[in-house]
Structure 1
Amino acid sequence: MSDTGTGNETTKYNRVMLKISGEALMGDQGFGLHPPTVERIAKEVQTVHEMGVEICMVIGGGNIFRGLSGSAQGMERTTADYMGMLATVMNALAMQSALEGLGIHTRVISAITMNEVAEPYIRRRAVRHLEKKRICIFAAGTGNPYFTTDTAATLRASEMACEAIFKGTKVDGVYDKDPAKHNDATRYDTITYDEVLAQHLGVMDASAIALARENSLPIVVFSLDDEGGFRGILDGSGTSTTVRD
């Protein structure tokens, strides 16, 4: 496995956070992990890694367990949230396996200590991994209940001095209404944090948007379903929406 990026292409960003949902890993299944889909996403990440970009990742756990829905069904909220955090560790390990199968050094870094399967979160160590062109997958959210993986991604992106958060979704940006339901939906090229919050556009939860705004961290929303979409945004050829001031 190589510890250094092989690409030297020009890109607007040198260090980024990729946030994807757990549901993105389940493909057409209704639950769990779909290995071909995990591998496809890993190959998308590989194309950006080969450009020499330093990559952080946060993956949700909704394909396995969602704390908020467990709480809604009568489970104690804190317990449900911790179960959701453990689901994100499972997804992180699956992505690590797929990336290392492609020859990319990857570290899973957990906010909940579990030394047998993941490193504990130590900021300086994580930064060093990135400098060595290792991909860092941050798991178990923030390690605290009541916080989403959106917030965890924004927090870790801020701590790692990422230059942008890339939010991989099923659509190629932020629209004024659901493009799957409305043919006249209009995509924004750029939109402000305040407009996202005021219009309840659902890019990320309000805490994550507020934290990104406070740290002037742009959020780039793009389609993870489009082959080459992640790389395309970085080399300037893709379609996306940027949330910023």
Structure 2
Amino acid sequence: MDFLYTEISLFIRLGLIFLVVFFAVCLLPKYILYLTSTYRKDTKKSAFKVLNDVGAQGEYRIYKCLRKYEKQGARFLFNTYLPKGESGETTEIDVIMICYQGIFVFESKNYSGWIFGNEKYKTWTQTLPQGKGKKAKKEKFLNPIMQNKLHIECLQEVLGDDLENVPIFSVVVFSNRCELKKLEFSSNEAVVIKKEKLPLLVKKYCKVKPFLTYEMIEELYKTLYPLTQFSDEVKKKHIEDIQKHF
């Protein structure tokens, strides 16, 4: 009996040692990376919240893909709430990157399943297979191209003359976990991609001749940053307004 107790105790100790080593080697570097990120500093979201919030995960992953551009003078903004005309409502941009080549406006869709959509339709469809013999579950969501078009229009209203002739790139980013099954486009208004293709896309755009100066980037950033620091009440109202129009 004592031998069995010793074996169990040894097994438990080895298990705890494994967990500690696993955390130190695999999880701790990722945790430190998050704690030192601009996303954490600006959004004030804890690592736990991001782990349990699919939307926040998508935003952070976009930033993590592109954070190297910070060393080249780029500035990031997250959850920017812009007024929609005189309606009293707001529209939210998930991620903005301001760099020498212009402004990237990212709409994050951290979805799984199959994605179907048409650029001209108000809603797109997420289809989630439920297994053999079961009917697939379908969810409607707002057309992300139209969403980003509205975002850019509101951005232009806020910035006014500061945005004159500045290149703006509209990019819709889906999770690598989904499959873009059937998407129909009639214009080049936006790029729709999975996250795995995001680094190459931005690298391609950033090869063009610089348009903004360091001073212009900082000025745009200082103008928009206050619009990322809203109360929970404003954010709650934003969600309620979206649900009314859906």
More strand by share: 2
Larger radius of gyration: 2
State the TM-score, normalizing by the size of structure 1.
0.29
State the TM-score, normalizing by the size of structure 2.
0.29
